[in-house]
Structure 1
């Protein structure tokens, strides 16, 4: 029974270290991609934002041009009324009618002046918006070129690594199935809390891998016996002996070569 328990613990340690090697390989692949996916996403948002801005500016121009047209119509109507009132003024019968028509003429003249002022203001707005449109188009072209370049970089990396990453993630799930749920959760928790996601590490030069804290000789002997799962008291990482680590690394290298 004791021998079976020892074998079971060793099998768990091997499976845990294999899982670590697989997940570390996935981390390496993702590190190669680095910030590229986020850069591409940010650039896509920039491009969409600039296109939306352009659409709004074009709509603003259409609205201003419509307003200019409306003001021109007011001017034409006012001119027609002025002509009409001028004719009427020639046939007035008394000063009251003359004054009334004069007021109407004055009002229509003011309408023309106001409309012409509005048109002038609208034309100034058009020039301003045209400058903003030109600047926005320039920025959009720049962002689109940058986005195309970054997408090309990302696509090239994905083409090289996507297949391997997918296969590795499938292997990761397979190895998780070999380990009891309690240990998988502990592994995931440690992995999330430590540097570089290394939850299972071998002993290197008498210390936990990546650590400077020396492990007592008696503990090293216990780790090498593979009879129980031992964690580093400083980092919380699960520890394996160098011989086991070498064997599993060699095994995993062969697996990675096939993916």
Structure 2
């Protein structure tokens, strides 16, 4: 692996601050998207879940309708058997045979009554399923509309920012290569530990940017001399002097304008 060219402390500080400005701009772009990608993902899952539910409800409906057909066939079979047994009663030789056939007729009539009862129950189930299907379809239409709207919002933001974000990511990687690994690791560790992701900050009104803790004048002079990398004892952030910060901000603003 090629070794990184040795650079002065001041060059390291400038490169670190430039990297911070680039990464802060990437953060800003991603913050504009906010929770939208997650919202879209959740809505997609919800829509998929509703479609599966509709599929399941329709299968259940088909099963009930098949059961009704089976019961209707059973009724027809029972009616045929009743006809058969009634006809046989005309040719019986004794009461025992007649009573036996009467019991068969009675059994088939009970079977018809039971089948009709089941058909009524199945029809009630069909009504309930159809109602649930309609409600689910209405909810699904509403969620699909919401998803379409949110996806449109996200696509619009991505269209506006994706090119710039990709260009900035490349710049970030380019600047990382200028800085030694030890410093990059420290920079990333600080970034992950602070809320706003600012690992390198300028001294503002005698304190580190975004902090109320005053930096002693002697330390401020050391920071301004750019002879060594100094961190804020309270937040752990790397500190740069205001002049260097202003110079790098101006330089990076030109880069950002070009990348848009």
Displacement of 1:96: 1.7
CA distance in 2, matches of 1:117, 1:204: 85
Q: Residue 236 of structure 1 aligns to a residue in which SS?
A: coil
Aligned to 2:187: 187
User: Match for residue 59 of structure 2?
Assistant: 59
- Give the structure 2 partner of residue 82 of structure 1: 82
2:134 aligned with 1:134, yes or no? yes
Q: Deviations over 1:17-59 (max 9, x none)?
A: 1000000000000111111111111111111111111111111
Task: After TM superposition, give the deviation of residue 63 of structure 1 in Å.
Answer: 0.8
Alignment match, 1:19: 19
* 3-state SS of 1:239 partner: strand
Q: Does 1:203 align with 2:203?
A: yes
Q: Tell me, in whole angstroms, the C-alpha distance in 1 between the residues paired with 2:110 and 2:248.
A: 93
Question: Residue 235 of structure 2: SS of its match in structure 1?
Answer: coil
Pairwise CA distance, 1:182: 1.0
Aligned residues: 254
Task: Indicate the SS of the match to 2:179.
Answer: coil
193-202 or 92-101: bigger deviation? 92-101
Q: CA RMSD in A?
A: 1.0
| Paired position in structure 1 for 2:235 | 235
- Work out whether 1:258 is the aligned partner of 2:258: yes
SS in 2 for 1:233: coil
- The 2-side partners of 1:118 and 1:80 are apart by 20
Indicate the residue corresponding to 1:150 in structure 2.
Answer: 150
- Structure 1 unaligned residues grouped into runs of 5+: none
User: Which 10-residue stretch deviates more, 95-104 or 27-36?
Assistant: 95-104
Show CA shifts across 1:131-152 (max 9, x none): 1011001001101111111111
Q: Distance in 2 between matches of 1:184 and 1:108?
A: 87
Segments of 5+ residues of structure 2 without an aligned counterpart are: 1-5
**How far apart in 1 are the matches of 2:185 and 2:93?**
104
Structure 1, 18-27 or 54-63: larger mean CA deviation = 54-63
Distance 2:191 2:103 in 1: 87
Deviations 1:117-163 (A, max 9, x none): 11111100000011101100100110111111111111111110000
TM-score by length of 2: 0.96
* Counterparts of 1:76 and 1:103, CA distance in 2: 18
1:228 alignment partner, SS class: coil
| Structure 1 range deviating more: 130-139 or 86-95 | 86-95
Partner in structure 2 of residue 117 of structure 1: 117
The Cα of 1:196 is off from its aligned counterpart by: 0.7
Normalization by structure 1: what TM-score?
Answer: 0.96
Partner of 2:42: 42
Aligned-partner SS, 1:211? coil
Which runs of 4 or more aligned residues in structure 1 lie more than 6 Å from their structure 2 counterparts after TM superposition? none
Alignment of 1:1-12 (within 5 A): 8-12=8-12
State the 1:248 CA deviation.
0.5
Q: Tell me the SS of whatever aligns to 1:197.
A: coil
